[in-house]
Amino acid sequence: MNWKKGRGKLGIFEPLMGKWQTEAKSEMGPVKCTREFKKILSGKYIELNVNWVFADRIYDEVAMIGVNKEKEVSFWSFTSDGKQSEGMLADVTDIHPEAIGFEAQMPAGLARTVYWPDEKEGFHWVVESKNKKGWNRFTEHHYLPMGEE
C-alpha cells in the first residue's frame, strides 16, 4: 500500500483518504464497518464518517480531525448513542513505525485508536485501553478500499 504522507500538519492522514470497508467479529456478533475520510473546509479539517452494521442495530460516528487552538493535531468525535470524545495525536510507533493514532481520556481511562498500513492492501485499525501492564487491545479491524458505487 502507498502510505505516502502529504503536506502540512494533516498530511499524515493522506494515506487514509477515501472509503474503506471491513467485516469482522465482535462481542455483539458479526459487524460490517465502513470508514470514509475526506478533506473539508478548504482542507483545514478531515471529516471521518464511520458506520457499524450489526445484525440488530446500526451505530454511527462522525469525527473531525484538525489543528486545535494550541496548534496540536486533535480529533472531536460524536456518536449515535449520544457520546462525545476528544483527543490528541499521539506517538503510537510501538505498534508499527508508520502508525498514526490518537489518545483520549475516556470515562473508563486512557484509550487510543491506531491506524497503520497492511503489507499487501489497506490498513489495520485498533482500539486499546491503558492498564497497569500496558495497552489492552479490544478491537482490531483490517480495512480494504471500497469499490466505487
Residue 98 sits in a domain whose CATH number is: 2.40.128.20
In a domain, 6, yes or no: no
Question: Burial letters for 38-63: b for 16+ Cβ neighbours within 10 Å, e otherwise?
Answer: ebeeeeebbebebebeeeeeeeebeb
Residue 57 lies in a domain: yes
Domain contains 117? yes
* Cα 40 to Cα 58: distance, rounded to the nearest angstrom: 25
Question: What pTM, to 2 d.p., does this model score?
Answer: 0.93
Q: Is 138 domain-assigned? A: yes
What's the gap between Cα 10 and its chain centre? 14
Residues 6+ apart with CB under 8 A from 72: 88, 89
Only one residue has cell 498530511, namely: 11
First-to-last alpha carbon distance for the chain, in angstroms, is: 22
- Whether residue 82 is predicted with pLDDT greater than 60 in this model: the reply is yes
Asked whether the beta carbons of 144 and 21 are under 8 A apart, the reply is yes
Q: How many domains does the chain have?
A: 1
pLDDT digits over 15-70, tens only? 999 999 999 988 888 999 999 999 999 999 999 999 999 999 999 999 999 999 99
CB atoms within 10 A of CB 13: 20
**Residue 47 within a domain:** yes
pLDDT tens per residue, range 121-144:
999 999 999 999 999 998 999 999
* Residue 49 lies in domain: 11-145
Is 123 domain-assigned? yes
The reply to whether 53 falls in a domain is yes
pLDDT of residue 147: 72
- 16 beta partners: none
